[in-house]
Structure 1
Amino acid sequence: MKEGIHPEYREVCFVDLSNGFQFVTRSCANTRETIAMEDGRRLPLFKLDTSSESHPFYTGTQKSVDSMGGRVEKFRNRFARSAAK
Protein backbone atom coordinates (compact mmCIF):
# COMPACT_ATOMS: atom_id res chain seq x y z
CA MET A 1 0.00 0.00 0.00
CA LYS A 2 1.12 3.54 -0.68
CA GLU A 3 2.12 5.60 2.31
CA GLY A 4 0.29 8.85 3.16
CA ILE A 5 -2.77 8.47 0.92
CA HIS A 6 -5.16 6.76 3.32
CA PRO A 7 -7.20 8.79 5.82
CA GLU A 8 -6.55 8.39 9.52
CA TYR A 9 -9.65 6.77 10.99
CA ARG A 10 -10.40 7.20 14.69
CA GLU A 11 -13.38 6.61 16.93
CA VAL A 12 -15.86 9.53 16.76
CA CYS A 13 -19.10 10.03 18.70
CA PHE A 14 -22.00 11.17 16.52
CA VAL A 15 -24.92 12.87 18.31
CA ASP A 16 -28.37 13.44 16.76
CA LEU A 17 -29.43 16.91 17.92
CA SER A 18 -33.15 16.27 17.37
CA ASN A 19 -33.43 13.43 19.91
CA GLY A 20 -30.05 13.04 21.65
CA PHE A 21 -29.24 9.62 20.14
CA GLN A 22 -25.50 8.86 20.28
CA PHE A 23 -23.40 6.30 18.47
CA VAL A 24 -19.67 5.71 18.16
CA THR A 25 -18.02 4.63 14.93
CA ARG A 26 -14.70 5.01 13.19
CA SER A 27 -14.52 8.11 11.01
CA CYS A 28 -12.14 10.68 9.60
CA ALA A 29 -14.64 13.56 10.04
CA ASN A 30 -13.14 16.84 11.22
CA THR A 31 -14.40 17.88 14.66
CA ARG A 32 -13.79 20.78 17.02
CA GLU A 33 -15.47 19.48 20.18
CA THR A 34 -15.01 16.43 22.39
CA ILE A 35 -17.41 14.51 24.61
CA ALA A 36 -16.83 12.44 27.75
CA MET A 37 -18.26 8.96 27.34
CA GLU A 38 -19.72 6.86 30.18
CA ASP A 39 -16.66 4.61 30.26
CA GLY A 40 -14.32 7.60 30.83
CA ARG A 41 -13.02 8.01 27.27
CA ARG A 42 -12.96 11.44 25.61
CA LEU A 43 -13.94 11.19 21.96
CA PRO A 44 -14.29 13.77 19.20
CA LEU A 45 -17.91 14.93 18.85
CA PHE A 46 -19.76 15.34 15.54
CA LYS A 47 -23.28 16.82 15.73
CA LEU A 48 -25.94 15.63 13.26
CA ASP A 49 -29.25 17.27 12.37
CA THR A 50 -30.87 13.91 11.66
CA SER A 51 -29.91 10.25 11.84
CA SER A 52 -31.59 6.89 11.32
CA GLU A 53 -33.24 7.31 14.74
CA SER A 54 -35.06 10.51 13.76
CA HIS A 55 -35.45 10.42 9.95
CA PRO A 56 -39.07 9.73 8.91
CA PHE A 57 -38.04 7.14 6.31
CA TYR A 58 -36.32 4.95 8.90
CA THR A 59 -38.79 5.49 11.74
CA GLY A 60 -41.82 4.58 9.61
CA THR A 61 -43.57 7.91 10.07
CA GLN A 62 -43.11 9.01 6.46
CA LYS A 63 -46.34 10.23 4.92
CA SER A 64 -47.47 9.36 1.43
CA VAL A 65 -47.61 12.40 -0.82
CA ASP A 66 -49.92 10.70 -3.32
CA SER A 67 -53.17 10.49 -1.33
CA MET A 68 -55.61 10.97 -4.22
CA GLY A 69 -54.65 7.85 -6.18
CA GLY A 70 -52.47 7.27 -9.21
CA ARG A 71 -51.79 9.41 -12.26
CA VAL A 72 -54.70 7.98 -14.24
CA GLU A 73 -57.14 8.72 -11.42
CA LYS A 74 -55.86 12.30 -11.15
CA PHE A 75 -56.25 12.74 -14.92
CA ARG A 76 -59.83 11.45 -14.85
CA ASN A 77 -60.74 13.69 -11.92
CA ARG A 78 -59.25 16.77 -13.57
CA PHE A 79 -60.90 16.30 -16.96
CA ALA A 80 -64.21 14.92 -15.67
CA ARG A 81 -65.14 18.48 -14.69
CA SER A 82 -64.35 19.91 -18.13
CA ALA A 83 -66.11 17.04 -19.96
CA ALA A 84 -69.33 17.64 -17.98
CA LYS A 85 -69.58 21.23 -19.22
Structure 2
Amino acid sequence: MKDGIHPNYREVCFVDQSNGFKFVTRSTMGSKETVKMEDGRELPLVKLETTSESHPFYTGQQKSIDNLGGRVEKFRNKFAGFAKK
Protein backbone atom coordinates (compact mmCIF):
# COMPACT_ATOMS: atom_id res chain seq x y z
CA MET A 1 0.00 0.00 0.00
CA LYS A 2 1.19 3.50 -0.77
CA ASP A 3 2.06 5.80 2.09
CA GLY A 4 0.21 9.10 2.54
CA ILE A 5 -2.87 8.37 0.39
CA HIS A 6 -5.14 6.78 2.98
CA PRO A 7 -7.36 8.86 5.31
CA ASN A 8 -6.60 9.15 8.99
CA TYR A 9 -9.19 6.97 10.73
CA ARG A 10 -9.73 7.41 14.45
CA GLU A 11 -12.43 6.57 16.96
CA VAL A 12 -15.29 9.09 16.99
CA CYS A 13 -18.38 9.24 19.22
CA PHE A 14 -21.66 9.89 17.39
CA VAL A 15 -24.69 11.10 19.39
CA ASP A 16 -28.33 11.06 18.26
CA GLN A 17 -29.76 14.42 19.35
CA SER A 18 -33.36 13.18 19.44
CA ASN A 19 -32.84 10.46 22.07
CA GLY A 20 -29.24 10.70 23.34
CA PHE A 21 -28.12 7.34 21.87
CA LYS A 22 -24.31 7.19 21.60
CA PHE A 23 -22.10 4.90 19.57
CA VAL A 24 -18.37 4.83 18.88
CA THR A 25 -16.92 3.88 15.52
CA ARG A 26 -13.89 4.66 13.43
CA SER A 27 -14.32 7.65 11.14
CA THR A 28 -12.47 10.45 9.36
CA MET A 29 -14.99 13.09 10.43
CA GLY A 30 -13.56 16.01 12.32
CA SER A 31 -15.14 17.88 15.19
CA LYS A 32 -14.25 20.76 17.48
CA GLU A 33 -16.29 19.23 20.31
CA THR A 34 -15.13 16.32 22.44
CA VAL A 35 -16.85 14.00 24.90
CA LYS A 36 -15.39 12.08 27.83
CA MET A 37 -16.43 8.44 27.70
CA GLU A 38 -17.16 6.20 30.71
CA ASP A 39 -13.80 4.44 30.33
CA GLY A 40 -11.88 7.75 30.50
CA ARG A 41 -11.17 8.22 26.79
CA GLU A 42 -11.79 11.65 25.28
CA LEU A 43 -13.18 11.33 21.75
CA PRO A 44 -14.33 13.79 19.08
CA LEU A 45 -18.10 14.30 19.24
CA VAL A 46 -20.33 14.36 16.14
CA LYS A 47 -24.02 15.21 16.66
CA LEU A 48 -26.59 13.56 14.38
CA GLU A 49 -30.27 14.33 13.92
CA THR A 50 -31.32 10.79 13.04
CA THR A 51 -29.77 7.36 13.59
CA SER A 52 -31.10 3.82 13.42
CA GLU A 53 -32.32 4.27 17.02
CA SER A 54 -34.70 7.10 16.09
CA HIS A 55 -35.55 6.67 12.38
CA PRO A 56 -39.12 5.37 11.85
CA PHE A 57 -38.01 2.75 9.31
CA TYR A 58 -35.70 1.05 11.80
CA THR A 59 -37.87 1.48 14.90
CA GLY A 60 -40.97 -0.06 13.29
CA GLN A 61 -43.07 3.08 13.70
CA GLN A 62 -43.27 3.77 9.98
CA LYS A 63 -46.73 4.75 8.79
CA SER A 64 -48.20 3.70 5.47
CA ILE A 65 -49.89 6.70 3.91
CA ASP A 66 -51.59 4.88 1.05
CA ASN A 67 -53.92 2.43 2.83
CA LEU A 68 -57.08 2.87 0.76
CA GLY A 69 -55.73 2.44 -2.76
CA GLY A 70 -53.88 4.58 -5.24
CA ARG A 71 -54.61 8.08 -6.51
CA VAL A 72 -56.62 6.87 -9.49
CA GLU A 73 -58.84 4.72 -7.27
CA LYS A 74 -59.43 7.64 -4.88
CA PHE A 75 -60.37 9.87 -7.83
CA ARG A 76 -62.82 7.31 -9.19
CA ASN A 77 -64.46 6.85 -5.79
CA LYS A 78 -64.76 10.60 -5.26
CA PHE A 79 -66.33 11.37 -8.64
CA ALA A 80 -68.23 8.12 -9.26
CA GLY A 81 -71.63 9.78 -8.77
CA PHE A 82 -71.06 12.49 -11.39
CA ALA A 83 -70.66 10.06 -14.29
CA LYS A 84 -74.08 8.43 -13.73
CA LYS A 85 -76.07 11.65 -14.25
- Whether the TM-score (by the shorter chain) exceeds 0.5 is yes
- Structure 1 segments of 4 or more deviating over 2 A? 70-76
Cα distance per residue 1:10-32 (max 9 Å; x no partner): 00000000000000000001111
Cα RMSD after superposing both structures: 1.5
Q: Helix, strand or coil for the counterpart of 2:12?
A: strand
Q: Give the structure-2-normalised TM-score.
A: 0.88
Are 2:44 and 1:65 aligned? Answer: no
Q: Give the structure-1-normalised TM-score.
A: 0.88
Cα distance per residue 1:23-68 (max 9 Å; x no partner): 0000001111100000010011000011000001110111111022
Q: Which runs of 5+ in 1 are unaligned?
A: none
Percentage identity across aligned positions? 73
Give the whole-Å Cα distance in 2 for the aligned partners of 1:66 and 1:54.
23
Deviation at 1:71, TM superposition (A): 4.7
Give the whole-Å Cα distance in 2 for the aligned partners of 1:65 and 1:29.
36
